[in-house]
Amino acid sequence: MTHPPHLPQNVDQADLPEASWDDPARGSVRWKTLFSGDVTATDSLVCGIALMSPGDTFALHFHPQPEVYFGLEGEVDVTVNNTIHRLKPGVALFIPGNAVHGVIRADQPARWFYSFAADSFAEIAYTFV
């Protein structure tokens, strides 16, 4: 499949709304979508910023696509296949496709950049466990 050529995109996260899950069982994590083919003229990558406040959760889940987290602010424990990884500013975490991962509970404010190799966020088939 070939994709049409796209122009460079410039997005300021300060101008973007926060999104969250409709189902509280999925957790209270919030995010801002930076690039996703359903909302920006982009393809091949989905990128955003995840946001957590103290007490927030991100239920354990998996999806076929691998994902990368890159810590921006604060620290949080990310569980990946029953192993805890401390995500903090400057730390990158590769999460293999179909790996069960999530954040049991944030103990401080945290923000991280995330990215998937997909055309749009809608393609990410989340399965919560």
pLDDT in tens, 85-99: 999 999 999 999 999
Q: What gap in Å lies between CA 97 and CA 116, rounded to an integer?
A: 10
Length of the chain: 129
- pLDDT at residue 51 tops 90: yes
Please give the single-letter amino acid code of residue 14. A
Q: What gap in Å lies between CA 91 and CA 8, rounded to an integer?
A: 27
Task: Spell out the residues 6+ positions from residue 102 whose beta carbon is closer than 8 angstroms to its own.
Answer: 27, 57, 58, 59, 60, 61, 78, 79
In this structure, are residues 101 and 78 in contact, taking their beta carbons and an 8 Å threshold?
yes
- What is the pTM (predicted TM-score) of this model? 0.92
C-alpha Rg value of the chain to the nearest Å? 14
Tell me, what's the pLDDT at 96?
A: 98
pLDDT bracket for residue 6 (50, 70, 90): low
- pLDDT at residue 4 tops 60: no
Residue in 69, 62, 65 with CA at minimum distance from that of residue 110? 69
Tell me, what's the pLDDT at 8?
A: 83
What is the tally of helices (H) and strands (E) in the chain?
A: 0, 11
Residue in 66, 73, 85, 64 with CA at minimum distance from that of residue 13? 73
